[in-house]
Amino acid sequence: MRNKVKSFLIIGMGRFGHHITQNLAAQGAEIMIVDTDQSKMEDLLPLVTSAKIGDCTSEEVLRTLGIANFDMCIVCIGTNFQSSLEITSLLKEMGAKCVVSKATRDIHAKFLLRNGADEVIYPDRDIAEKLAVRYSSDHLFDYIELSGDYAVYEIPVAAEWVGHSIKDLNFRRKYNVNILGTKAGNGKTSLMPTADYVFEENVHLLVVGTRADVQKILKKI
């Protein structure tokens, strides 16, 4: 059975609005974009289902969009908090199934959540945090934050592990992390290695654990 194609209403075609539109389009989503400035939407027209020029702080404009028909509405306005707040509140009042709003400050996030946002995102802050984690560790190639203090980290194989299996090293018990997969030098990823997997040089590991436990490993590499 094929998955249902999801539909998105994206309001605000600044830099973040552009990026999320392009990435959702690449996933095959149905997208309507809205902005007050037509020039900000022109390059996206081949990627979206429809585009509309309008001020979404206007209740009349929003009513023409069929808010309840979208699986998710994303408010990408970051420079005018008052407009973002008004639009978020109106979307929810008009029956939006899920509203995700962009915030630049914690106080903005609190007001957005109180006024209808189901989720608030901080694109700039999240990118800054991710880069800080990557750049502060010499041997950390990438990471994906999960809930709480857990994340998926891409790390190299330590020289002392080469030639030994996961079982030989009692890896999970010794390092308190789980190996989700391995990534070869050509970029090919293999998931869920068995306990008999033998560590090789020039291979990266995808491990899940807390930052503290992973940092302990990185200090030994």
Residue 46 CA to residue 15 CA, distance in Å, equals: 17
List phi, psi (to 5°) of 194: -80, 170
- Tell the residue number behind the tokens 């189901």, with chain if given: 118
Q: Residue 205 corresponds to which amino acid?
A: L
Q: How confident is the model at residue 134 (pLDDT cuts 50, 70, 90)?
A: low
The pLDDT assigned to 42 comes to 95
Confidence of residue 48 (pLDDT cuts 50, 70, 90): very high
Instruction: Give all domains of the chain, ordered by start, each with its CATH number.
Output: 7-121 (3.40.50.720), 127-218 (3.30.70.1450)
Q: How confident is the model at residue 140 (pLDDT cuts 50, 70, 90)?
A: low
Task: Identify the pLDDT of residue 3.
Answer: 60
Classify the C-alpha dihedral 153-74-70-51 as positive or negative: negative
Q: Would you say the pTM of this structure is higher than 0.75?
A: no
* Residue 54 CB-density burial (10 A; 0-12 exposed, 13-18 middle, 19+ buried): middle
